Amino acid sequence: MCTLNSTTKEYGISGLPTISLLERKRSLVISVFQFCKVLQTMLGLRKVISIPGVQKHLAPSFRCLNYQQGQSPDPKTREYFYYIDHQGQLFLDDAKMKNFTSCFKEKDFLVFFFKRIKENSGGKYADEFPYISPCGREKNYIRCDDTPIVFTHFIEGLASEGKLDRLSYGGAGERMTMTFEPENVCMLPESGRMYHPAPEQYGGIGLIKSSLVIELSKNFEFESGDETRPPSHFNWRGTRYTLTNILYDKVKFRRFIQ
């Protein structure tokens, strides 16, 4: 017989407290997630395990990939796995600590690595590592927090010398840059992330580093003051640019990983 006691708890036929449907669902999700983490540890799995609603920004699929850095699936190939975060820093994908002290900093290597990045369209591990930087026998597979190219620094051009403003990427300073296109910057109101066109080999889109966004975002204007929509204008060097927002349709449904 189901009864209610003097408190707000519900009791079932056995006399034990019942659990609401919402609590059951939450417990089930947490239990599955904990099971996946145990499975990941037992099998030595590297990134990533993803469950909808548990880890923010992860793709809505269950993904597991077992690998070893430098593995050789055949005698003529060696495979390595990398990760690029939203600050544009490059790491070995299985590095436990990912911060400035553990990222790659040697500029010659960064230039060599980033110049060879391309989309891993339909290739091996494409679902988990959508980009690749091939180097002879080495196949360097890459996953990203967002885009493989992150514009990290602004290099001011001297108008008197006919030099244009540039954005630097790849952690290589002036060795890897592209011309700044103020009319083509795009900001997602939902996330605050800002994008700029990038070379097509990288997918045509580059994320702008958050510290740089803080400096640039003050130049945006929103049509009719509606900040739930992408900005409509960008003020730069005394010119008011009407934004093309050509990147908006490409980035509005982006998901990010950690």
Span 168-207, pLDDT tens digits: 999 999 999 999 999 999 999 888 999 999 999 999 999 9
Residue-wise pLDDT tens digits, 33-84: 455 554 544 444 444 433 333 333 334 334 567 899 999 998 889 999 999 9
Rg, C-alpha atoms of the chain: 24
Selection from 216, 221, 212 nearest residue 241 by Cα: 221
Reported as a pLDDT band with limits 50, 70 and 90, residue 239 is very high
Q: Is 59 helix (H, G, I), strand (E, B) or coil?
A: coil
Which residue is it, tokens 């590095």?
A: 95
Q: Residue 256: what pLDDT?
A: 57
Check: CB of residue 177 under 8 Å from CB of residue 167. yes
**Cα–Cα distance measured from residue 81 to residue 47, given in angstroms and rounded to the nearest whole number:** 10
Q: What is the pLDDT of residue 226?
A: 81
How far apart CA 155 and CA 178 sit, in angstroms, is 10
Locate 81 and state its tokens: 């796995």
Does the pLDDT of residue 227 top 60, yes or no? yes
Identify which has the larger pLDDT, 48 or 124: 124
- CA 145 to chain CA centroid, Å, is 2
> What's the pLDDT score for residue 51?
35
For 159: left if phi > 0, alpha if psi spans -120 to 50, otherwise beta; the answer is alpha
Residue type at 131 in one-letter notation:
Y
* Cα–Cα distance measured from residue 118 to residue 27, given in angstroms and rounded to the nearest whole number: 41
> Is pLDDT larger for residue 147 or for residue 28?
147
| Cα–Cα distances in angstroms (integers) from residue 164 to residues 154, 197, 214, in the given order | 11, 16, 21
| Local structure of 248: helix, strand or coil | helix
CA dihedral of residues 30, 34, 36, 37 (deg, nearest 10): 140
List the beta bridge partners of residue 143.
Answer: 83
Give CA–CA dist 116/176, Å, rounded.
12
Q: What pLDDT is recorded for position 28? A: 54
pLDDT of residue 62: 41
| pLDDT for 118 | 95
102-117: average pLDDT: 96
